[in-house]
Amino acid sequence: MTALADLVRPGMRIALADGTGSPRSLTPELTALARRHGDLRLLTGWLPAADPGLDPGAFTDARTVMPGWGLRRHVDAGILRVVPVRMSAVPALLAGLLRPDLLVATLVRRPDGLRFGSEVAWMRGLVEAGVPVAAVVSRTAPCADAGGPLPEAAITVVAETADGPAEVATPAPGPVETAIASHVAGLVPEGARVQVGPGRLGTAVLAALRVPVRVDSGLLPESVVDLDERGLLLDATATYLVGTRRLYDWADGRPLLGPVETVHDPSRLADPRPAPLVAVNTALEIDADGQVNVEGTATSVMGGIGGHPDYAMAGSRCPGGLSVVALAATHGGRPTLVERLSRPVTTAGHDVDVVVTEHGMADLRGCDRAERTRALRALWDV
């Protein structure tokens, strides 16, 4: 079996596959190689769980196109640069200015060959573009990749592991999330495509639905299993899985995951066939113009741009569709409706149709800017 060190050359930009299946068993060696070479560059994306073996500071340049919770301390410390890019634009960026020389990824072996497991994301596009792969083969990861087997000539297996994807448990929704979700559920017609994120609010929204739906989302949360068990899941499409072993066992063998180029394609998302899209996104804060911040507070990065603007724009464009931003009216004792966002705008106000809190909703469709502001202030009673 070839060693990872045999594939690494001086000055390389190395892409570390992201998601819950990021190859954590290889990151201590990758970090050690970065220290030894002194000129390696790191590129990664969404890491939902901390990886103790990864030290971005060992690389001469370290960047992420979507930080996630697992990279927050590295970003806050200033050793990992966040590239502000919406998810649908990541493949073009990685095909050009930030094209890597090597992809380090987790794969699973099936009778017809090697495939991605708990995420496809931007990785399949790199393989198809000819970027070589250093792979760890997981014996326990699910295979939810909807694509065909990867070209084995492009892949060098450097290790095998019994480790599966990182498990990310979601706390049960509280009364605020449940109240918000009850309002959102009334906006979802039977048969619609629904996008939700991970976390308590996404769980609450899927739990509140009473009609069959299709889940069409960048991240597929564990609550989709509950929806399926209730007989309300028509089908599901995503590019990442995020949950616990229960989700991974349910997803294994199902063709759920496509590449970012397909899943986040704005034209596909906005097409009302086979059903309109109801995009349900959350936010850290929103201003009186309806502009949204999902990236962080004034002092700390909480997340990245991700697919928020992709789905919001598509929902607002889709005939019969809807772009919903749902959030608690307060956070940490402070209103989430602010005069000025703590960080740059993630999603433009004109891509937001309806804003929902636990107190009700503000329908902004067809409103001029003054009317939008009045509707938002009335929702927050300010």
Q: In the 3-class helix/strand/coil scheme, how is 294-352 assigned residue by residue? A: CCECCCCECCCCCCHHHHHHHHHHCCCCEEEEECCCEECCEECEECCCCCCCCECHHHC
Tens of pLDDT, residues 5-64: 999 999 999 999 999 999 999 999 999 999 999 999 999 999 999 999 999 999 999 999
pLDDT averaged over every residue in the chain: 97
Provide mean pLDDT across the span 175-189.
98
Provide mean pLDDT across the span 331-344.
95
Rounded CA separation 341/60 (Å): 32
What is the reported pTM?
Answer: 0.96
Bridge partners (DSSP) of residue 115 are: 108
DSSP 17-84: P-STT--GGGHHHHHHHHHHHS--EEEE----S--TT--GGGSSEEEESS--GGGHHHHHTTSSEEP-
The answer to whether residue 74 scores a pLDDT higher than 90 is: yes
Write down the architecture of domain 175-242+265-380 according to CATH.
Answer: 3-Layer(aba) Sandwich (3.40)
Q: Nearest to residue 140, comparing CAs of 104, 158, 121, 166?
A: 166
In this chain, the answer to whether the domains covering 8-161 and 175-242+265-380 adopt an identical fold is: yes
Rounded CA separation 365/379 (Å): 15
Tens of pLDDT, residues 222-279: 999 999 999 999 999 999 999 999 999 999 999 999 999 999 999 999 999 999 999 9
Query: What pLDDT is recorded for position 68?
Result: 87
Tens of pLDDT, residues 152-180: 999 999 999 999 999 999 999 999 999 99
The answer to whether residue 83 scores a pLDDT higher than 90 is: yes
Q: What percent of the chain has pLDDT over 70?
A: 100
Query: What pLDDT is recorded for position 382?
Result: 87
Category of 7 on φ-ψ map: left (φ > 0), alpha (ψ -120 to 50) or beta: alpha
Query: What pLDDT is recorded for position 301?
Result: 85
Fold for the domain defined by 8-161: Glutaconate Coenzyme A-transferase (3.40.1080)
Domain residue ranges of the chain, discontinuous segments joined by +: 8-161, 175-242+265-380
